[in-house]
Amino acid sequence: MAPKSSTRVPLSVKGPIDCPYEGREMLSLPQFNRGTGFTAEERDVFDLVGHLPTSMQTLENQVDRAYDQYCSLEAPLTKNTFLMSLKVQNEVLYFRLLQDHLKEVFSIIYTPTESEAIEQYSRLFRRPEGCFLDINHPEHIERSLAAWGAEEDIDYIIVSDGEEILGIGDQGVGAIGISSAKAVLMTLCAGVHPSRCIPVALDVGTDNERLLKDELYLGNRHGRVRGERYDKFVDDFVQCVKKLYPRAVLHFEDFGLSNARRLLETYRPQLACFNDDVQGTGAVTLAALIAAVRVAGLDFRDLRIVIFGAGTAGTGIADQLRDFLDTQGISKQQVMDHIWLVDKPGLLLESMHDQLTPAQRPYAAADNGWNGIDTKSLAEIVKKVKPHVLIGCSTKPKAFNEPVLREMAKHVERPIVFPLSNPTRLHEATPAEIFKYTDGKALVATGSPFDNVDGKEIAENNNCFVYPGIGMGSILSRARKVTETMIGAAVKELAGMAPSDKDPDGALLPDVADIRDISARIISAVVLQALEEGTARVEEIEGIKVPRERDQCLEWVKEQMWKPEYRPLRKV
């Protein structure tokens, strides 16, 4: 959190850091604490003498020590808790450790382990690390948000009401866990200054009986508030964001099916906002699909796609495909005619109109042609449609079983299969199963990380590949809106980095280990698009003329990214 306005310090990414603190207080602030990393001069100037052991260490020494401690822990959840503690002790050390061991720690700080941490949020709680807004006290919204800094301090706000977290459903106030984890990734992947991002939990109650019965549960102990009171609370929050932080980008995460898209549609015209589950998932899946289509030698015009699980993510993917292909000269209707949505009632048909969500309706299949076919059976649907692509966002493990996959492999040369449900145990199939039942011919991407199978790398098709880039691109351009074309620019940039373009056995998305470089390129593409289409306000607000040439813009972007390093401290 930024210091109070009386001692406000600029939150920069280079040069000396102004510090108004000293002594024990400084050691308790993760933004300023360097522990054994403080130099002799800093110990003197900031009155730290006597508070630290004699020996002085470099950041690299500290990372080695912390990493050894991390490795000595066995269970992923214990590792997650350890990293959480490190984060509230020394922010630079925390991010440097993550950066140096990125691939290894990714599944610990994010899906799947973060899901476990969120399920146990009230029992693992040590220190609060975000902004908690209570539906029973909407009068506190402004005061709570304003405590995070002045208008120019805040770039990004991630908000969740915790209804549909990472595939594990309603976690009530545990929402703060996903907002914080996504905020960490904003810094780690895209270099957003950690103090310029606010993770927010909207505590509107929970319908999770386990939590309601748990005497240690830390959130509001009543059912989820819905309807007008909920809408008013969310609206109060958004209007407050607009008022206090008009430059910031608002990121919605893990809202439930009945709210996610509705809130996005309501607020998109009002401010720069983005729903990661709808748009981020759609964007990364489209990038992986573009890569897969190239490997399979297919044409998007002919592609038949079945999406199993037509909720927030499933319909987000369908819309992203439809809107992107429309810009490539394939009409929206043609794309919609080639997408089949399947949900709990089976294939979604026109005759189900009244039971379908507005997002599902445009894709409902005409009933004629399906007479005598069991539309509840995925294998039967696959037999009839003969899809090239099968995408899972259902949270139904093992839904892509042997009959389904074998049926798919009968009709197409290279089945494209993306089981995207998180966490790992909810995947519709494992990569090993998919390869087994398609005789190794499938092109696979998964929602959570998986190890290689028979030397084949498995792309992690997770929105973490794009939202940091889209978010930071919107921040740096000071975008008025996060537009479809800016998201499209991110998709094209990511699709252009697919290892499978060079090696047909390569992954459909680049390696998460390279996420900082990947994000920098996406940021740059988004900034350039925002400049071109006039959504950017960076010159107007900050007086900055961003280079419009690609390489120069990329260099500029890299300079704006926060890095975990001990910059000189200046006493103020």
Ligand X SMILES: NC(=O)C1=CN([C@@H]2O[C@H](COP(=O)(O)OP(=O)(O)OC[C@H]3O[C@@H](n4cnc5c(N)ncnc54)[C@H](O)[C@@H]3O)[C@@H](O)[C@H]2O)C=CC1
Which CB sits closer to ligand X, 115 or 220?
115
Site residues for ligand X, 127-166, by CB under 6 A, read 164, 166
**In terms of CB distance, is 117 or 381 closer to ligand PYR?**
117
Minimal distance in Å, beta carbon 354 to ligand X? 16
Residue pair 305/340 in contact by the 8 Å Cβ criterion: yes
Residue among 139 and 451 whose Cβ is closer to ligand X: 451
Interface residue with Mg ion among 42, 91, 153, 277 (CB under 5 A) is 277
Picked from ligand X, Mg ion, ligand PYR, none, the partner binding residue 344 (CB below 5 to 8 A depending on kind) is ligand X
CB of 255 to ligand PYR, least distance (A): 10
Q: What is the DSSP string of 222-291?
A: SPPP-THHHHHHHHHHHHHHHHH-TT-EEEE-S--HHHHHHHHHHHTTTSSEEEIIIIIHHHHHHHHHHH
**Is residue 254 within the footprint of Mg ion (CB under 5 A)?**
yes
376 given a catalytic annotation? no
285 touches 459 (CB < 8 A)? no
Picking from 340, 347, 319, 291, the residue whose alpha carbon sits closest to that of residue 505 is 291
d(CA 503, CA 443): 13
> CA dist 353 to 259, 357, 365, Å?
19, 8, 10
In the complex, minimum distance from the CB of residue 111 to Mg ion, in angstroms, rounded to a whole number: 9
With contact defined as beta carbons under 8 Å apart, do 202 and 140 qualify? no
DSSP letter at 157? E
Check binding of 107 to ligand X (CB under 6 A): no
3-state SS, 11-28, equals CCCCCCEEECCCHHHHHC
User: Closest by alpha carbon to 238, among 202, 203, 206?
Assistant: 202
SS3 content of the chain, % helix, strand, coil (to 5): 50, 10, 40
- Spot the catalytic one: 182, 245, 467, 481: 182
Residue 220 binds ligand X (CB under 6 A): no
**Pick 286 or 523: Cβ nearer ligand X:** 286
Find the shortest distance in angstroms from Cβ 463 to ligand PYR: 5
Per the annotation, the verdict on 87 as an active-site residue is no
Say how far residue 163 (Cα) sits from the centre of its chain: 16
Binding status of residue 317 toward ligand X by CB under 6 A: no
Cis peptide bond upstream of 112, omega within 30: yes
β-pair type (17-19, 346-347): unpaired
Of the two residues 148 and 230, which places its CB atom closer to ligand X in the complex? 230
| Residue 519 near which of ligand PYR, Mg ion, ligand X, none (CB within 5-8 Å, type-dependent) | none
* Residue span 499-518 as binding mask against ligand X, x where in contact by CB under 6 A, dash where not: --------------------
Q: Alpha-carbon distance 52 to 68, whole Å?
A: 21
- Taking the complex as a whole, the smallest distance from the CB of residue 167 to Mg ion amounts, in Å, to 8
Write the CA distances from 341 to 212, 318, 321, 346, 393, integer angstroms. Answer: 34, 9, 13, 8, 11
Pick one of ligand X, ligand PYR, Mg ion, none as the site partner of residue 30 (Cβ within 5 to 8 A by kind): none
- Say whether residue 177 binds ligand X (CB under 6 A): no
- Closest distance between ligand PYR and the C-beta of residue 110, in Å? 8
Q: Is 478 left (phi over 0), alpha (psi -120 to 50) or beta?
A: left
Among 309, 431, 473, 488, binds ligand X (CB under 6 A): 309
Whichever of 187 and 461 has its CB closer to ligand X, that residue is: 461
Dig out the tokens for 166 from the structure: 């990472």
> For tokens 């009230």, what's the residue?
122
- The DSSP 8-state label assigned to residue 452 in this structure reads -
> Across the strands, what pairs with 134?
203
Check residue 129 for interaction with Mg ion (CB under 5 A).
no
Nearer of residues 31 and 462 to ligand X, judged by Cβ:
462
Number of residues that bind ligand X (CB under 6 A): 28
Taking residue 8's Cβ as centre, other Cβ atoms within 10 Å add up to 16
Stretch that binds ligand X, among 120-128, 211-219, 309-317, 468-476 (CB under 6 A): 309-317
The binding track of 292-331 with respect to Mg ion, each residue x by CB under 5 A or -, is ----------------------------------------
Instruction: Supply 344's token pair.
Output: 């709990």
158, 197, 420, 531: which one binds ligand X (CB under 6 A): 420
Residue nearest to ligand X (CB): 311
Tokens representing residue 297 in the block: 């030698």
Binding map of ligand X across residues 432-451, x = CB under 6 A, - = no contact: ---------------x----
Catalytic residue among 21, 70, 110, 363: 110
Nearer to ligand PYR, 167 or 314 (CB): 167
Q: Which residues bind ligand X (CB under 6 A)?
A: 164, 166-167, 257, 277, 281, 308-314, 342-344, 393-396, 420-422, 426, 447, 461-463
Positions marked catalytic: 110, 182
Q: Which residues bind Mg ion (CB under 5 A)?
A: 254, 277
